[in-house]
């Protein structure tokens, strides 16, 4: 009995160590991602590039997500998930170095596409590992911890801009170093991770979208909201006469809300369900869009940005929790690939459409566009709850 207990304890320790390694890997990766969006937007803004073109440039990274997503299940079977993730971290470092070297708006289009293409498999593989090994009774809190710490990585990105500025190589070198560190962490943690299933997946990425339309809509909304904000918040702030340092600090506070509140949201999901918690997040995010124009130049914008960020990204956290609640086995990699695809679709649609609205309606096009996304998700969730109630009555 003692030997059995020791074996069980060792298995639990390995599981927790594996989860910690996954979270650390993606968190370091997020530092570079969180840095690159505002950094490149600031550079383009100084060059006099229009908001619409800045948004189109930012959309190239999620376009890379879109193109790579359908082939990720095949790549994990063909090349092994661990080796694939390490290779992606290295290639992302090369892509960011080339972006810093070229400093050309038109060459940035294919390079930002490449960055998204090679970053995507790392996210998909990592989240699949985490969902697969997280205990069901603690999945909400574990995914909350995951998204909180990953958000911390994103927060460090804009925060570094307040310290090193947005000119020259220093901000690029920080992002490149983070990608390299991500690969090194992966090399260290891989022996503790379970092997990814090599079975043929029972459905395609498109088939999964038909199987779980509400979940992929939630991912789309969360991505479009976040990517538009990261890409165009600098333009919004400039329209209100704010300096770059204040805008970067507000972005940091926005992401800090994710860090502080994703775990409580995960715990709430364990009690009332992931979809009900998602509805709370969507309504709160809509309220943030409504009050932002009136509060942006006041001190109240700081707590609003904190809560707004937690609610907006909480939509994605709840989608991950719901994915783990509904699916298991080899379909998880396909589900996560579908999430990546719709994250890319949301990311590629959000910045250019929001930028176009800002061209037509002024800077307030940013909160209006994000508010409409929240309205769409709220409507879909309410329809889902109504359909569920109807089935119970029948």
State the average pLDDT over residues 353-362. Answer: 86
- pLDDT of 202 reads 64
- Coil/strand/helix, residue 47: coil
d(CA 32, CA 154): 8
CATH code assigned at 87:
1.20.1250.20
- pLDDT value at residue 238: 84
**How far is CA 334 from each of CA 81, 116, 161, 344, 384, rounded to the nearest angstrom?**
13, 18, 36, 15, 23
| For residue 199, pLDDT beyond 80 | no
pLDDT score of 389: 63
pLDDT of res. 104: 80
Of the spans 1-10, 273-282, 292-301, which averages the highest pLDDT? Answer: 273-282
Averaged over 122-127, what is the pLDDT? 82
- Does residue 170 register a pLDDT over 80? yes
Question: For the chain, how many structural domains are there in total?
Answer: 1
Confidence tier at 31 by pLDDT (50, 70, 90): confident
Q: What is the pLDDT of residues 318-328, one digit of tens each?
A: 999 999 888 87
**Nearest residue to 171 via CA among 159, 180, 182, 160:** 160
Find all residues with CB under 8 Å of 246, minimum gap 6, and list them.
Answer: 237
Helix axes 60-68, 331-361, angle to 10 degrees: 150
- Taking only the tens place, the pLDDT of each residue in 248-284 is 888 878 877 878 889 999 999 999 999 999 999 999 9
Dihedrals φ, ψ of 200, to 5°? -65, 135
71: Cβ contacts below 8 Å, ≥ 6 apart: none
Counting Cα atoms < 13 Å in the Cβ hemisphere of 328 gives 6
Do 217 and 377 form a contact (C-beta atoms < 8 A)? yes
Q: What is the DSSP string of 225-283?
A: HHHHHHHHHHHHHHHTT--HHHHHHHHHHHHHHHHHHHHHHHHHHHHH-HHHHHHHHHH
Let me know how many helices (H) and strands (E) the chain has, helices first: 15, 0
- Quick: pLDDT tens for 60-95: 887 888 899 888 888 887 888 788 888 888 898 899
The arithmetic mean of pLDDT across residues 309-317, rounded, is 91
The pLDDT score that the predictor gives to residue 338 is 92
Most confident of 23-27, 38-42, 381-385: 381-385
Candidates 198, 174, 192; CA nearest to 80 is 198
Distance CA 42, CA 58 (A): 12
pLDDT at 225: 92
Residue 8 has pLDDT above 50, yes or no: no
CA–centroid distance for 81 within its chain: 20
Note the pLDDT of residue 393: 46
Predicted pLDDT at 352:
83
**Helix residue ranges per DSSP H, 165-243:** 170-189, 205-211, 213-239
Over residues 92-117, the pLDDT tens digits come to 889 989 988 887 888 889 999 999 89
For residue 391, the model assigns a pLDDT of 59
Residue 200 pLDDT class (50, 70, 90 cuts): low
Sequence length of the chain is 394
Average pLDDT over the chain reads 83
Residue 1: the pLDDT is 46
pLDDT tens track for 150-161: 777 776 777 788
**Domain assignment of residue 103, given as a range:** 2-393
Burial of 298 (0-12, 13-18, 19+ CB in 10 A): exposed
- Predicted pLDDT at 230: 79
Whose CA is closest to 125, among 386, 317, 339? 339
pLDDT of residue 375: 96
In angstroms, the CA 28 to CA 69 distance is 22
Q: What is the structure's pLDDT at 314?
A: 93
- pLDDT value at residue 330: 72
> What's the pLDDT tens digit per position in 174-194?
888 888 888 888 887 777 776
pLDDT for the residue numbered 346: 87
Residue-wise pLDDT for 224-243, tens only, equals 998 888 778 888 888 888 88
């Amino acid at each position: 009995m003692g030997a059995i207990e020791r074996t069980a304890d060792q298995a639990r320790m390995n599981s927790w160590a594996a989860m910690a390694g996954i979270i650390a890997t993606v968190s370091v990766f997020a530092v570079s991602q969180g840095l690159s969006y505002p950094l490149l937007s600031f550079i383009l803004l100084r060059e006099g590039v229009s908001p619409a073109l800045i948004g189109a440039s930012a959309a190239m990274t999620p376009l890379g997500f879109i193109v790579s997503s359908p082939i990720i299940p095949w790549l994990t079977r063909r090349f092994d998930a661990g080796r694939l993730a390490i290779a992606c971290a290295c290639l992302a470092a090369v892509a960011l170095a080339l972006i810093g070297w070229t400093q050309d708006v038109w060459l940035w289009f294919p390079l930002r596409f490449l960055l998204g293409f090679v970053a995507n498999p790392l996210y998909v593989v990592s989240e699949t590992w985490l969902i697969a090994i997280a205990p069901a009774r603690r999945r909400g809190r574990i995914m909350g911890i995951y998204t909180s710490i990953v958000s911390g990585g994103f927060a460090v990105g804009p925060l570094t801009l307040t310290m090193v500025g947005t000119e020259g190589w220093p901000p690029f070198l920080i992002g490149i170093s983070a990608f390299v560190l991500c690969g090194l962490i992966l090399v260290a943690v891989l022996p503790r991770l379970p092997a990814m299933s090599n079975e043929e997946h029972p459905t395609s990425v498109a088939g999964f979208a038909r199987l779980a339309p509400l979940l992929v809509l939630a991912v789309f909304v969360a991505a479009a909201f976040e990517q538009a904000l990261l890409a165009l918040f600098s333009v919004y702030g400039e329209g209100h006469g704010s300096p770059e340092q204040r805008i970067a600090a507000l972005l940091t506070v926005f992401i800090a809300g994710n860090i502080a509140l994703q775990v409580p949201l995960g715990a709430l999901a364990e009690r009332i369900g992931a979809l009900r918690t998602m509805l709370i997040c969507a309504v709160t995010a809509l309220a943030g869009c409504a009050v932002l124009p009136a509060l942006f130049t006041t001190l109240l914008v700081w707590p609003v940005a904190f809560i707004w960020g937690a609610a907006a990204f909480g939509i994605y956290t709840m989608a991950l929790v719901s994915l783990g609640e509904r699916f298991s086995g080899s379909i998880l990699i396909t589900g996560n690939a579908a999430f990546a695809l719709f994250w890319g679709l949301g990311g590629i649609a959000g910045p250019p459409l929001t930028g176009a609205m800002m061209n037509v309606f002024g800077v307030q096009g940013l909160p209006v566009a994000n508010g409409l996304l929240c309205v769409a998700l709220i409507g879909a969730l309410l329809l889902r709850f109504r359909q569920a109630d109807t089935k119970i009555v029948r």
